[in-house]
Every structure is written in C-alpha cells, then in structure tokens.
C-alpha cells in the first residue's frame, strides 16, 4: 500500500441525507436540516453513509474536499444530529449485561457449535465469499487501530501505558512494512482486490458502515471513552480464535500467503493482548474512574449487537448463494492511481509483534502474578470463541 495514498472519491448517495451531505462537500448544494436526521432509520443506508462521510473527514478526507471542512461548524451541527439518532438507537436496542464482570466472562466462553461468520468461512466458505468479506472489512482494516488511538489523550497512568503498548503493536512496532493496514492491503492483493483506501465504500451495506461508525462515534467523544475501551476489549478478547478460523479459510481456499499471514499474525499476539486489555487497560481505567464501568459494558454489548446484525446479513446472503455487496466488486469505478508494494517478510521470520507476544508469554510463565492472570482462552489452546456470532475480525 502506498505510504501516501490519495484521498478517496466521495461515494454515491443512498438517500436524501447522504445526497445533501455529499452535495455540500462538492459545493453544489445545501446541507440537510439537522431535524431531518430525527426521522431517518438509524441503521439505514442513508443515515449511515451520511455519518460515515462526516467521520471520514477526520481520517483522510475525500478528493476535492478542502481539509478545513473537517471543522465546518454547519457540517458539525448536522453530524451531531446524525450521531444523536444513531447513538440513541444503540442505547435503546443493545441487549445489555447486568454488569461488566458478566460481560467480560461471556466473551471468554461460548457453545462448542459456533455458527458465526468465521465458522462459516472456515468450514464451507468459497473464495468469492472471502473476497467479499475482505472488501467489506477493508473499510476498517485499511485504517486499522486509528479510531482507537483517539482514546489515548483521554486515559492516564496504567490504562494509558497499556493502551499505547497495544496500539504500538497495531502500528507495526515502529516498522512501516508491519503496520496492520499495510498487511491487510497485502491480503487484499492476494485476493485480487483493489487495495485503494475507501475503494469499496459503495459496495458496503449499512450493517458494515454501522460497525465502523460506532468506532468513530466512541473515539471522537471524550464522554464515550469508556465505551471505546469496552469496544476495544471486545475486539482484542475475541480476535485470536476468529483469526485462527479465518487463517484456515484462507489456506483451504488457496487465497495466498499474505492472506494467511494477516490472520496468523493475530492468533498468538492477540491472546496476549487479551490479558493486557482486561487487566491493565480496563483495570487501570476502573482504578481511576470506576464510574465508567457501565459505559465499558455498553461498548462491549454495542459491538456485539452491531456485529450480530452484520453476521445475519452476510450469512443470509451467502447461504442463499447471493452476494452480500451492494455493487459487484468488479463494477466499482477505478481507484485513483496508486502503487501497492508488498510488505517484505519471510515465512520463517516472526513479526516484531508476534516476537514481543512470545517474549511476554515466556516472561509470564516465570511470573506467579502473571500466571494467576493467565486467561482461560490462552490456557485452552485458543479453541474458545466468543459467545456472540460477531466474529470481529477487525482482529485488533
């Protein structure tokens, strides 16, 4: 993936809200009224795309849109209305646990007969379905860990140090070729997909947009720092077993070495991240701000709620032999010209992230305190899976 990719093009509108927002960014029309968001489907294509476009201005923006539009006060007023509609629906609709301990415990145990997306792809998924899955997940993975970095200024002490350590791994441990967004671009190249940033936005259904929008919502609001930490915990705790299944799906279908490597990379390291997040990020945050426990629980539960909605959509389409995409992969307009360079590595060379995870695990085996903190999942050879069908393969 080019280190300095061009901004993506604005997407095709899906309704009056997204049409007005994209027209405003093109300079061809007025914004929608903030009140219009109050009657829109909070999970529908129109609101979710309009909100996604507003959020993307805080990442890489869009071609032809001035960078200072990020802080346009009228646009921020519309974004706030879109956010309120979405956030209120999440609060009302998310099945919630009685408390944080119960929510975390449920992430560590599930029935043996899992039926989620990664199970389907591992057991019977075809190459075209893996390509669709990668195209959809690219909306997050090509900016992997970016939404979570926003929480760092809002933490301190043990929670901040632990969160920064995990993020350092996500950003390649100081090596550009190991940045996870770049590794995912390698995976996409193996699958014959365009690796351009934002390339597959038009193809993604509202269920996928909502998952990414939730991360941005939590990350951009200091008052939701607890929810962001809860979301991050769900990602890290459930990543390792789902990644193992997805790596096996890539091997079984002959997707390619980079496709296998991306998920293999997460299996060992995320088993360690699971402990860091539970004991140091969450534990450190609660030591400083115990009143945030309900928000952490909400972040866990909201992630499961939206991932379940996405899983139902994908599995219903795939089991019926239908594409899950709004537009065919080969029918989207070409991305701006950019070169994709594969990340250099050899099969025998573990990544710095995996090497550090192995080192931490070896150290943990020598530490009675760390041994007491050993997670059930790590002790069970990674065979446990999340109780929900969410299969977060944003894999941290």
Please state the domain extents for the chain.
1-93, 98-379
> Which pLDDT score, from 0 to 100, does residue 343 have?
57
0.75 surpassed by pTM: yes
> What CA dihedral angle connects 223, 225, 227 and 232, to 10 degrees?
160
> Which pLDDT score, from 0 to 100, does residue 268 have?
75
The SS3 call for residue 308 is helix
> Which pLDDT score, from 0 to 100, does residue 335 have?
44
pLDDT in tens, 113-154: 788 999 999 999 999 999 999 999 999 999 999 999 999 999
CATH 3.30.1960.10 corresponds to the domain 98-379? no
Ranges of the chain with pLDDT below 50: 1-4, 332-340, 345-396
> Which pLDDT score, from 0 to 100, does residue 269 have?
65
Nearest Cα to Cα of residue 328 among 178, 194, 148, 163 = 194
Burial of 224 (0-12, 13-18, 19+ CB in 10 A): buried
Interatomic CA distance for residues 351 and 367, integer angstroms? 24
pLDDT in tens, 3-28: 445 799 999 999 999 999 999 999 99
């Amino acid at each position: 993936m080019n280190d300095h990719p061009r901004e993506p093009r604005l997407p095709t509108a899906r309704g009056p809200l997204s049409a007005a927002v994209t027209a405003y960014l093109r300079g061809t029309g007025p914004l929608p009224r903030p009140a219009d968001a109050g009657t829109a489907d909070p999970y529908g294509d129109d609101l979710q795309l309009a909100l996604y476009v507003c959020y993307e201005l805080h990442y890489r923006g869009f071609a032809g849109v001035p960078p200072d539009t990020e802080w346009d006060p009228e646009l921020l007023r519309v974004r706030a209305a879109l956010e309120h509609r979405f956030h209120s629906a999440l609060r009302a609709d998310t099945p919630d646990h009685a408390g944080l301990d119960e929510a975390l415990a449920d992430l560590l145990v599930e029935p043996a007969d899992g039926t989620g997306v990664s199970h389907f792809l591992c057991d019977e998924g075809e190459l075209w379905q893996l390509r669709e899955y990668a195209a959809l997940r690219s909306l997050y993975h090509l900016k992997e860990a970016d939404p979570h970095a926003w929480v760092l200024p809002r933490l301190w002490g043990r929670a901040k140090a632990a969160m920064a350590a995990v993020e350092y791994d996500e950003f390649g441990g100081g090596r550009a070729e190991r940045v996870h967004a770049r590794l995912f671009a390698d995976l996409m190249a193996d699958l014959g997909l365009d690796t351009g940033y934002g390339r597959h936005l038009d193809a993604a259904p509202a269920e996928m947009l909502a998952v990414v929008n939730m991360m941005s919502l939590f990350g951009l609001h200091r008052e939701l720092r607890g929810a962001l930490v809860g979301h991050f915990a769900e990602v890290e705790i459930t990543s390792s077993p789902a990644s193992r299944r997805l790596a096996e799906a890539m091997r079984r279908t002959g997707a390619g070495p980079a496709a296998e490597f991306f998920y293999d990379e997460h299996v060992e390291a995320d088993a360690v991240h699971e402990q860091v997040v539970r004991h140091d990020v969450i534990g450190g945050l609660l030591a400083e701000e115990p009143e945030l426990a309900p928000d952490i629980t909400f972040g866990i539960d909201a992630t499961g709620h939206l991932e379940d909605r996405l899983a139902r959509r994908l599995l219903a389409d795939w089991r019926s032999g239908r594409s899950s995409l709004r537009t065919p992969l080969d029918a989207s307009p070409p991305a701006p010209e950019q070169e994709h360079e594969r990340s250099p590595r050899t099969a025998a060379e573990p990544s710095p992230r995996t090497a550090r995870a192995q080192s931490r695990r070896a150290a943990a085996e020598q530490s009675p305190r760390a041994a007491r903190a050993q997670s059930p999942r790590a002790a069970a050879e990674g065979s446990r899976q999340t109780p929900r069908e969410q299969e977060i393969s944003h894999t941290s």
